[in-house]
Structure 1
């Protein structure tokens, strides 16, 4: 049996599920887009090709191999985009929470049943239907659980609003010994530069007490300020709206010292190395066109 253990974003990674870009289906129609960035590329004719995305994911898989990480992949479903495994489930401590995601993505969960079969049923949580939550919005961080949410009365109008108030309450009930801190995110169905799809699109804690932040991703300035104070201004790499759009904050830590980043993130990668991190660069610019990057494609199951 798999003994789940994830208590933060950075401890040495042992086991994870990495999504797959195989058989991800034809380019969606504009009305099928889940986010404004995909929509932009569908309309411009620059939507990524399957072969390019498969190659990018293989480059990422090789990094995990290099560091001895055990990697599960989903079963390949015909014509189904299964790249973003973080959306469908996430682990906090020794519990795996199955996300209530957009209804037409439920079959993605079935594609990881071979993984779920290795986990004790008592450790798999199925939130009630009213709870909307995706893994990109949830970050365990020691005594804290950080959650990105949108609680505006117009929640239902935003396909980009993925985690609701009921989810914050549910996670607080499941982990009563943790401090749950939620952050209101800025949402837009039409402007990718004004849309923080998930918390990890505008914030990412790193090892060495560092963090990546984008101020405009947060609707409430005090909540953004809370993070600045928590990490300390000197420890924060503040990204521009263009860098948020390119997904600079969606990097992924294999350990407190090792960060996987996109090879074109020159300014960030330089800063990371200056802070003493080992940066494993991979090409991921095609996948980024779907408003998701490295953290979105990974579902950590066991960290040390």
Structure 2
């Protein structure tokens, strides 16, 4: 039996599901793009190649190996993008939540069923159909669960709006002992620089008391200010629009001291080292073209 345990984003990682780029399928058509950044690269002819993405993911796998983390991988589905495991499920405390994802991604869940089968069935939940929630919008911070959402009336018009207010209510009800705080995120179907696809695209806690933040990702400035004050200005690394576009907040913590980051994030990585973190740099620029990075392609199961 797998005994799950995840209470925050930075405790020492013991077991994780890392996505796979194998048999990723051909470059999607423009009409098949889920987000504006992928669309941009499809149009420009710079959409990432499978071999490059496989190499990038193997670099992450070897970092996990170095830190003795147990790594699970999805079963391979032919011609299917299975990189972003964070979208399809997430763990809160000792409970695995199956996400309600875009319908044509349902088979990605089937590919990790062999792992879910090792968890006590009492500890696996699936929200009802009208509840939309994806793991990229759910950030655990001890007593808090931070959730990214989109509260505007035109929610149904946005394929980039992934978590609705029913999703927030579902988590509140399922985890009554937690303080759930939601954040209204800026969405754009067409301009990647203006689109906070998930909460982890514009915010992520690191270490024991620090955070990476992007102000423009939040529709309500006071919600951004709340996070800034909660972590403290001096503990926050504020990223620009350009850095948000390149997914600087989407790094991944192996522990409070060790962070896996993209090697091109020079300003961020310099700051992290100055703050005393060990930064494990990996190449991930090709995968980033699909508006996802390190946190998006990992699904932690057990942290100490």
SS at match of 1:216: helix
The answer on 1:191 being equivalent to 2:191 is: yes
Partner secondary structure for residue 280 of structure 2:
strand
Aligned to 1:300: 300
Separation of aligned partners in 2, 1:114 and 1:132: 24
Aligned partners of 1:80, 1:214: CA distance in 2, in Å? 31
2:183 and 2:226 map into 1 onto residues whose CA distance is 10
Task: Give the deviation of 1:140 after TM superposition.
Answer: 1.1
Corresponding residue number in structure 2 for 1:120: 120
* Match status 1:130 vs 2:130: yes
Counterpart CA distance in 2 for 1:160 and 1:128 is: 20
**What is the rounded CA distance, in whole Å, between the counterparts of 2:283 and 2:183 in structure 1?**
30
Q: Distance in 2 between matches of 1:17 and 1:39?
A: 27
CA distance in 1, matches of 2:167, 2:4: 21
Task: Say which SS state the counterpart of residue 242 (structure 2) adopts.
Answer: helix
How many residues are paired up? 304
Alpha carbons 2:88, 2:98 under 8 Å: kept:
yes
Partner of 2:272: 272
CA deviation digits over 1:199-242, x for unaligned, max 9?
00000100041100000000000100000010000000000000
Give the TM-score normalised by the residue count of structure 2: 1.00
Query: Do 2:149 and 2:182's aligned partners in 1 also have CA atoms closer than 8 Å?
Result: yes
Distance 2:242 2:174 in 1: 37
Q: Displacement, 1:85?
A: 0.2
- State the distance in 2 between where 1:118 and 1:74 align: 14
**What secondary structure sits across from 1:276 in the alignment?**
coil
Tell me what 2:27 maps to.
27
Q: Which runs of structure 2 are paired with 1:78-117 in the superposition (5 Å)? A: 78-117=78-117
Tell me if the contact between 2:10 and 2:208 (Cα under 8 Å) persists in the aligned partners. no
Residue of structure 2 in register with 1:236 after alignment: 236
Equivalent residue runs for 1:9-20 within 5 Å: 9-20=9-20
SS in 2 for 1:289: helix
Normalising by structure 1, report the TM-score: 1.00
Q: In 2, Cα distance between the equivalents of 1:116 and 1:210?
A: 32
Task: Give the whole-Å Cα distance in 1 for the aligned partners of 2:134 and 2:119.
Answer: 20
Distance 2:13 2:173 in 1: 27
Q: Any runs of at least 4 consecutive aligned residues in structure 1 with deviations exceeding 6 A, and if so which? A: none
Q: Hey, what's the Cα distance between the residues in 1 that align with 2:156 and 2:243?
A: 28
* Structure 1 spans left out of the alignment, 5+ residues: none
- Whole-Å separation in 2 of the counterparts to 1:224 and 1:279: 26
Structure 2 distance, partners of 1:104, 1:13, is: 31
**1:68 maps onto 2:68 in alignment:** yes
In angstroms, what is the RMSD of aligned CA positions?
0.4
Q: Distance in 2 between matches of 1:177 and 1:40?
A: 42
CA-to-partner distance for each residue in 1:132-161, whole Å, 9 max, x for gaps?
A: 000000011100000000011100110100
The aligned residue for residue 254 of structure 1 is 254
Q: Which residue of 2 aligns with 1:153?
A: 153
Partner of 1:140: 140
